[in-house]
Amino acid sequence: MTTNPTDANPTTPTGDPYAAEQRQTTEGPVYTLTGGDWDQVLEDATHDERMVINLGPQHPSTHGVLRLVIEIEGETVTQARSVIGYLHTGIEKNCEYRTWTQGVTFITRTDYLAPLSHEAAYCMGVEKLLGIEAPRRAQLIRQLLLEINRISSHFVYLATGGMELGSTTAAALGFREREVLLHTLEYITGLRMNHAFIRPGGVAQDLPADWKDYLTKFVKTMEERITMYHKLFTGQPVWRNRLKDVGYLPLDGCLALGITGPVLRSAGLAWDLRKVEPYLAYDEVDFEVPTSTDADCWARYLIRMEEMDQSLKIIKQTMKLLEPGPVMVEDKKVAWPAQLTIGPDGMGNSLEHVRKIMGQSMESLIHHFKLVTEGFHVPAGQVYQPIESPRGELGYHLVSDGGTRPLRVHAREPSFVNLQAMPAMSEGGLIADLIAAVASIDPVMGGVDR
């Protein structure tokens, strides 16, 4: 194409409306680009060339330290693969070098959004090997904590998933609610995360004296907030259209891949271990298992919202079941010291508690020392203990050789298993929908890479 640089407003000899026009200025030639409708502009853009790109491992839309290697043709994902291991901690292996009770401090760091689920599953497995059962009050406290933690985890799903889709409102509000929930967990356990509060034989402490008033206010606040989210997001056409018919995975695909949790229930199967294989006191409370047959990101959003409502119902009923009683087994050869008195700095035992221990017999002091440093013996055997975590079936396979340390600890982590669904949900769709699909799986990379 040639133009006359002296023309003030030249036209192209070919009459091509998309060719760049040029005019001369004191600073040099200036080009004016024009275009037509996108359908016409892209008519000649279809080709067979494909590009392989990386999303992550550090990327604002990969839901954690996850690397996605995707092959794309234009904006369409033709192949997707996940690359994991960037957050590897060796938690399972480390448990082999600690006592059974000390192992709790490792496994609570696996899924850092649902640490109490890991504590509960692990400790229930240890108790099965020991042939003991935690006191009823301890089991009810565990149930309270698990449901509070479930709500907290689902709010982070909403916050991070919303942020990845461009909703800063979802991010800000979701983490605001999580703060309320973390304050509640801190009020009960002393820590916001990584609690190590559930221990073999029971829990570390009883509930605070004013727990009933505190939790009643907490439930009321959460009920109001969840109603607000339905107004803000469920009824929002942009939010619905962004998730509807995206990340489709039907029931047969879920079963073939071993998918559990909200992703499985979004495909129509009401599989929830709290119902089908009850543990703790879940068979004593009334709640529903929400399902859908839409099998898309929108259905997973609605299910998690409804699960938060159901968790509040469980919390209210569990509070009514709580009666005074011990929170740790009576067997002093297993029970780590509970009912501790914390020092004024919030760290360690108070002087009063130390004097109480030292004032007992020398044999009691020696036993206390050996129990904490060496741990207790667990009969040889193996056990698998599953529970329903916020992401699906979380199970612990524990193997004992009769010693004071585990021979093997392995977690059936739902984030790891569910992440297999990513290619099935995403291939053939757009890159933007890949981000929505991964968010709807809600993987926690600490659990994937444990």
Tokens representing 152 are 């907290």
CA–centroid distance for 34 within its chain: 48
| Alpha carbons 153 and 403: distance in angstroms, whole number | 35
Amino acid identity of residue 133, one-letter, is E
CB-facing half-sphere around the CA of 393: CA atoms within 13 A: 20
Predicted confidence at residue 8, as pLDDT, reads: 44
Are the C-beta atoms of 264 and 250 separated by less than 8 Å?
no
Instruction: Give yes or no for residue 20 having a pLDDT over 70.
Output: no
Total residues found in the chain within this entry: 450
87 and 24 part of one domain:
no
Q: Which residues are CB-contacts of 249 (< 8 A; sequence separation ≥ 6)?
A: 259, 263, 267, 295, 421, 424, 425
The highest-confidence range among 116-120, 204-208, 368-372, by mean pLDDT, is: 116-120
Residue 167 lies in a domain: yes
Q: Are the C-beta atoms of 215 and 151 separated by less than 8 Å?
A: no
Nearest residue to 448 (alpha-carbon basis) of 36, 72, 83, 79: 83
The pTM assigned to this predicted structure is 0.83
Nearest-angstrom CA–CA distance, 11 and 335: 90
Q: What is the DSSP letter of 284?
A: G
For 136, residues 6+ apart whose C-beta sits below 8 A from its C-beta are 281, 323, 325
Please tell me whether residues 162 and 250 are part of one structural domain: yes
Respond yes or no on whether the N-terminal peptide bond of residue 57 is cis (omega within 30° of 0): yes
Report the mean per-residue pLDDT for the chain. Answer: 84
Residues 93 and 16 in one domain: no
Domain count, the chain: 2
**Do 28 and 89 fall within a single domain?**
no
Residue 224 CB neighbours (<10 A) = 9
Is residue 393 domain-resident?
yes
pLDDT of the residue at 32: 64
Same domain flag for 87 and 40: no
Which tokens is 279 given?
A: 């543990």
Which pLDDT band holds residue 23 (cuts at 50, 70, 90)?
confident
| Position 61 in a domain | no
Same domain, 33 and 90: no
Average pLDDT score over residue span 94-122: 91
Rounded CA-CA distance 409/423 in Å is: 29
Q: What are the tokens at 51? A: 């590009």
Within 95-250, residue ranges assigned H as helices are: 104-107, 115-130, 136-164, 168-189, 211-229, 237-243
Residue 278 has pLDDT above 80, yes or no: yes
pLDDT over 90 (residue 398): yes
pLDDT at 341 (0 to 100): 62
Whether the CA torsion 230, 234, 235, 237 is positive or negative: it is positive
- Domain assignment present for 75: no
Angstrom distance (rounded) from CA 450 to CA 445: 8
In this prediction, residues 348-357 reach a mean pLDDT of: 70
The percentage of the chain sitting over the pLDDT mark of 90, rounded to a whole number, equals 44
Cα 147 versus chain centre, distance:
13
Residue found under tokens 């949900």: 425
Lowest-confidence region among 15-29, 226-240, 318-332? 15-29
Task: Examine the domain organization and report whether 87 and 41 are in the same domain.
Answer: no
Residue 59 falls inside a structural domain? no
What average pLDDT does the segment 158-174 reach? 87
pLDDT tens, position by position, 54-63:
887 777 766 7
| Residue 12 lies in domain | 1-46
Compute the chain's Rg from CA coordinates.
28
Residues 8, 155 share a domain? no
- 158 found inside a domain: yes
pLDDT value at residue 43: 56
Residues 38 and 97 in one domain: no
Pairing assessment for the beta strands 67-73 and 51-55 based on DSSP bridges: antiparallel
Instruction: With respect to residue 141, please indicate whether it lies within any of the assigned structural domains.
Output: yes
Tokens of 328: 């740790």
Say if residue 295 is in the same domain as residue 379.
yes
Per-residue pLDDT tens over the stretch 233-255: 888 888 898 899 998 999 999 99
Q: For residue 45, is pLDDT > 70?
A: no
Residue 422 belongs to a domain with what CATH number? 1.10.645.10
3-state secondary structure of 297: helix
The rounded Cα 312 to chain-centroid distance in angstroms is 18
What is the per-residue pLDDT for 9?
45
Instruction: Examine the domain organization and report whether 35 and 103 are in the same domain.
Output: no
Q: Count of CB atoms within 10 A of residue 123's CB?
A: 26
> What's the DSSP call for residue 97?
G
Q: Do 16 and 131 have their domain in common? A: no
Residues 6+ apart with CB under 8 A from 351: 343
| Residues 232 and 171 sit within 8 Å (Cβ to Cβ) | no
Instruction: Indicate the pLDDT class of residue 7, thresholds 50, 70 and 90.
Output: very low
Taking only the tens place, the pLDDT of each residue in 141-158 is 999 999 999 999 999 999
Q: For residue 55, what pLDDT is reported?
A: 83
* pLDDT (0 to 100) of residue 401: 92
- Per-residue pLDDT, averaged over 25-41, amounts to 63
In 15-135, alpha helices (H):
38-41, 91-94, 104-107, 115-130
> Is residue 162 very low, low, confident or very high in pLDDT (cuts 50, 70, 90)?
confident
Distant-in-sequence, close-in-space partners of 370: CB < 8 Å, separation ≥ 6: none
For residue 42, pLDDT over 70 is answered with no
Assess if residue 174 is contained within a domain. yes
